Amino acid sequence: MSLAIFDLDHTLIGGDSDHAWGEFLCKKGVVDEHEYRAANDRFYEDYLRGEMDIHEFLNFALNPLAQHTPEQLDAWHAEFMTECIEPIILPKAEALLKQHREQGDFLLIITATNRFVTAPIARRLGVDDMLATDPEQIDGLFTGKVAGTPCFREGKVTRLNAWLEQTGHSLKDSWFYSDSNNDLPLLEAVDNPVATNPDDRLRATAQARGWQILDLMPASDA
């Protein structure tokens, strides 16, 4: 059994679930639309440039979770899945997951986006496990803080190594599919790195190193 690891945003789905959740909160009137959207867009641009301060972003992104009950958040997330996520799940990505599943591989999503946003998406995609940035909870309530190491850049490798020790899996014959140059540390750690719907910097790196480049986007969006 080989380990098939997948980034989520812009890799298995045709968008960014973190940014989309922020937009959803704006449209629902849960947050101040003008101020929150401006900050949400700024952090997203920082991420695309590879300049995002993950701790500053998490202070921003996790705060709304602390302002509402888990029941209300779950109800909103159900709407979010239907309205925002289902339309951007990539058919070619589902086919890729099916291919690895039928080969007997273990399917693992590893994403910087927080677990509240991404766990239902991972369940929808039918993967075996997921590593994500974990929002802190005390007595079942979100605190607005992060628990443990954020699952971002080198943090993905740190979190994966801990998971490997806990589960007994190994990186022998492993795969990692990602769109982002932010994921270079983990791409370098696996046996089969695949630049998937890659950003310009990752595409250049993949071409220079002879890595496989894969396009899962619909033809009209490519």
Taking the C-alpha atoms of residue 193 and residue 170, their distance in angstroms, rounded to an integer, is: 15
- pLDDT higher than 50, residue 71: yes
Taking the C-alpha atoms of residue 66 and residue 63, their distance in angstroms, rounded to an integer, is: 5
> Which residues of the chain form beta strands (DSSP E)?
3-6, 106-114, 129-138, 141-147, 175-178, 192-196, 212-214
The pLDDT tens digits of the residues spanning 133-153 come to 999 999 999 999 999 999 999
What is the token pair recorded at 7? 């980034």
The pLDDT tens digits of the residues spanning 174-195 come to 999 999 999 999 999 999 999 9
Taking the C-alpha atoms of residue 151 and residue 170, their distance in angstroms, rounded to an integer, is: 19
70-80 and 17-28 helices, crossing angle to 10°: 110
Q: Got the DSSP string for 45-91? A: HHHHHT---HHHHHHHHHHHHHTS-HHHHHHHHHHHIIIIIGGGB-H
Count CB-CB contacts under 10 A for residue 54: 20
Share of the chain above pLDDT 70, in %: 99
Catalytic residue among 7, 16, 18, 105: 7
The neighbouring-strand residues paired with 213 are 195
The pLDDT tens digits of the residues spanning 109-141 come to 999 999 999 999 999 999 999 999 999 999 999
Task: Give the model's pLDDT for residue 220.
Answer: 66
Task: Give the model's pLDDT for residue 222.
Answer: 44
Judge contact between 110 and 130, C-beta under 8 A: yes
179 is catalytic: no
pTM above 0.85, yes or no: yes
At 165, the amino acid letter reads E
The neighbouring-strand residues paired with 159 are none
Taking the C-alpha atoms of residue 192 and residue 171, their distance in angstroms, rounded to an integer, is: 10
Judge contact between 143 and 137, C-beta under 8 A: yes
Judge contact between 197 and 189, C-beta under 8 A: no
What angle (nearest 5°) sits at the alpha carbon of residue 57, between those of residues 53 and 9? 95
Catalytic residue among 9, 16, 18, 179: 9
- pLDDT higher than 90, residue 17: yes
18 is catalytic: no
